[in-house]
A and B are shown apart, each in its own frame.
Chain A
C-alpha cells in the first residue's frame, strides 16, 4: 500500500474540517474585500521601490493580516488542538502514516492553503490595481510579502503550534495566540520609544530579528516621526534580519515536528 493515498485522505479530511462551508467563502471574501479597500495607491508622494513597498504593505497590512492570523489560529490552534483534545488524533494515529506526515497534512491544510488563499488574492488584486508596480519592482514586492508574513503570521503560527501540542487544548491555544498577537503590537510600539529614550539602536535591532518587516520598513521609508534620528539598516542588513526571522520560524516548526514525532503522548 502506497503512502500517498493515506496522506491525501488525511489532507482532504483536514481541508474538510478547516474550511467547512461557509468559512472558506467568508475568508476569501474578506481577503478580496480588504485587498481592494485597503489599497493605498501612490500616497505620500512616494516613488520607485518605496512606493512598491508602501502599496504592498497597505494591501497586506494589519486588517488583512489580522484576518489571516485569525484563520491560522483557527486552523492550527483550534483545528489541531481539538483533534488532540477530543481524541480524534488517536484515530488518525491508527492509520498507516508516520506522525510527521499526519502533521504535514494538517499544516498543509491549515496553514498552506490559508497562505495560498491570502497570497493568491493579494497578487491578483495587485495585478489589477497596479500591474506596473509588480512588473517593475518584483523583488521589492517579494521581499515585502516575505517580511510581512514572517512576523506576525508565520512566527505566531509556529508559536501557536508549540503551545497547542503542549496544552492539547484548542480553545486555550487560540486565546494564547490572540494574546501573543496583541503583545507583539504593544512591543512594536515600545521598542521605538526605548530606542528614542535611550539613544541606543539595540532594541530596534533585536525587534528586527523577530519582526524583519520593521527593518524593511526603515530601509524603504526611513526612520520617521519623533524617532527620526534612530537606526536605518542597509539592504544587506535587511536581508540578514529577514533570514534570521525565517530561521526562528523554521526552528519553531522543527521543534514542533520533533515534539509531535517523538514526544507527543495522547
Chain B
C-alpha cells in the first residue's frame, strides 16, 4: 500500500531523511517512532505528496503521491496540529467536504457521531478546544471512508479518555473495515496497544522495523525481570556482566536487557549473584522488550554512531 525506497530529503544543509525505506502492507497498522528531528514528519509529508524527495521512490496505492488527485479519496490524514479554515462551522465544513468527495451529506452526521462531536455541530472551528479540534480532524479524515489513514501524532492534544476513544476507533476501523494505518507518535504505550509493527526512525533512516517480538529478537533486547528484596545490590552486580546491555533498578526488582541468546547465561548467573548480594530472589521471567526500551536503544545506538 505504501512503498518507500531509499528516500532522501534535505533542507539546505540539514539532512532530514537519508536513505529511508519502508513498506506498509494493506490491512496493517504500522507505527512510526523516533526522537524529535528523526525525520518522521518529513517522511510522512513526502508520502502525502506535500514534499518532493531529493532522491528515492515513493508509491502510494502504486502511484506517485505528488499532485495526484486520484489517490486522495483513499487517504485520510490526521496532522498533529489540525489545519482548517477557522471561521467555518463544524457541520457546515464537514458537509462541504462531503460534497467535495461526492459523499452524501448524511456522512457528516455519521462522522460527528463516530468521533462524539455531535455537541459541537454548530460551533465554529476556531471555538473548538485543542482536543475537540483533533477529533474534528479525525472526523474530517473519515468522511471519504479512506482505505489508508496517515496520522502524525494524532493523540498529542487529547486527554486520556479521548486518547483511549481514538485508539479504540482506530482498532474498530481496522477490524471492521480493514483500514490500514501509518501512525507516528511519541506516546509509545499507545502505539504498542494498536500497532502490529513498528518502524524506528532515527537520523533520517529506518533503524529497525518489525513487530515488537521480532524487534526484540532482532535487536537482542529481551528483558528479564528479576524480583528481589535487595534490588540495589543485585543491580550493581548484574551491571558488571558483559552480555548485559541495560539494567534498571526499582524498589521491587531489577529489569535486565540481555543480548540475543544470552537469557540462559543470565539464568545461570543470577543465583550466584544473588548469593553474593545477599538478595532473596522472589521470581524471574523473560519477555519482549517494551517499545520504550527499543526506542531508547535506537537513540543510544545512533548517539554512539555520532561519537
B-contacting residues of A (Cβ < 8 Å)?
1-3, 5-6, 9-10, 13, 16-17, 20, 86-91, 93-99, 261-263, 265-266
Task: Check A266–B50 contact: CB distance below 8 A.
Answer: yes
Instruction: Please give the distance in Å from B33's CB to the nearest CB on chain A.
Output: 22
Q: Say whether B267 faces chain A, with CB atoms less than 8 Å apart.
A: no
Task: Check B50–A5 contact: CB distance below 8 A.
Answer: no
Instruction: Please give the distance in Å from B267's CB to the nearest CB on chain A.
Output: 53
Task: Check A95–B52 contact: CB distance below 8 A.
Answer: no
Q: Say whether B67 faces chain A, with CB atoms less than 8 Å apart.
A: yes
Query: C-beta contact mask, B79-90 vs A, less than 8 Å → 1, else 0?
Result: 101011101100
Task: Check B83–A87 contact: CB distance below 8 A.
Answer: yes
Task: Check A96–B85 contact: CB distance below 8 A.
Answer: no
A263 to B66, CA, bound (A): 10
The A contact surface, by secondary structure, is: helix
A152 to B264, CA, bound (A): 81
Given contacts A17-B85, A265-B51, whether A1 and B73 have CB atoms under 8 Å apart is: yes
The B contact surface, by secondary structure, is: loop
Task: Check B73–A91 contact: CB distance below 8 A.
Answer: no
Task: Check A91–B49 contact: CB distance below 8 A.
Answer: no
Task: Check A9–B50 contact: CB distance below 8 A.
Answer: no
Number of interface residues of B (CB under 8 A): 27
Task: Check A9–B67 contact: CB distance below 8 A.
Answer: no
Instruction: Please give the distance in Å from A95's CB to the nearest CB on chain B.
Output: 5
Among B51, B69, B83, point to the contact of A91 (Cβ < 8 A): B83
Among A6, A13, A20, A94, point to the contact of B77 (Cβ < 8 A): A94
A sample of 10 cross-chain residue pairs with beta-carbon separation below 8 angstroms, ordered by A number, consists of A5-B99, A10-B100, A17-B87, A90-B77, A91-B84, A93-B49, A94-B48, A94-B75, A96-B72, A262-B67
Other than A1-B73, A88-B84, A89-B83, give 9 A-B pairs with Cβ distance below 8 A: A1-B102, A5-B100, A9-B96, A13-B85, A20-B87, A87-B81, A90-B50, A91-B140, A95-B97
Contacts of A262 in B (CB 8 A): 67
Contacts of B83 in A (CB 8 A): 86-91
Query: C-beta contact mask, B48-83 vs A, less than 8 Å → 1, else 0?
Result: 111110000000000000010110110101010101
Nearest residue, chain B, Cβ from A100: B67
Task: Check A87–B79 contact: CB distance below 8 A.
Answer: yes
Given contacts A1-B73, A99-B67, A266-B50, whether A9 and B85 have CB atoms under 8 Å apart is: no
A88 to B126, CA, bound (A): 13
Task: Check B77–A96 contact: CB distance below 8 A.
Answer: no
Task: Check A96–B101 contact: CB distance below 8 A.
Answer: yes
Contacts of B85 in A (CB 8 A): 13, 17, 88
Contacts of B70 in A (CB 8 A): 96
Contacts of B79 in A (CB 8 A): 87, 90
Task: Check A13–B50 contact: CB distance below 8 A.
Answer: no
Task: Check A96–B67 contact: CB distance below 8 A.
Answer: no
Contacts of B96 in A (CB 8 A): 9, 13
Task: Check A96–B100 contact: CB distance below 8 A.
Answer: yes
Nearest residue, chain B, Cβ from A7: B100
Task: Check B102–A5 contact: CB distance below 8 A.
Answer: yes
A79 to B77, CA, bound (A): 23
Task: Check A1–B101 contact: CB distance below 8 A.
Answer: yes
Task: Check A95–B87 contact: CB distance below 8 A.
Answer: no
A3 to B45, CA, bound (A): 24
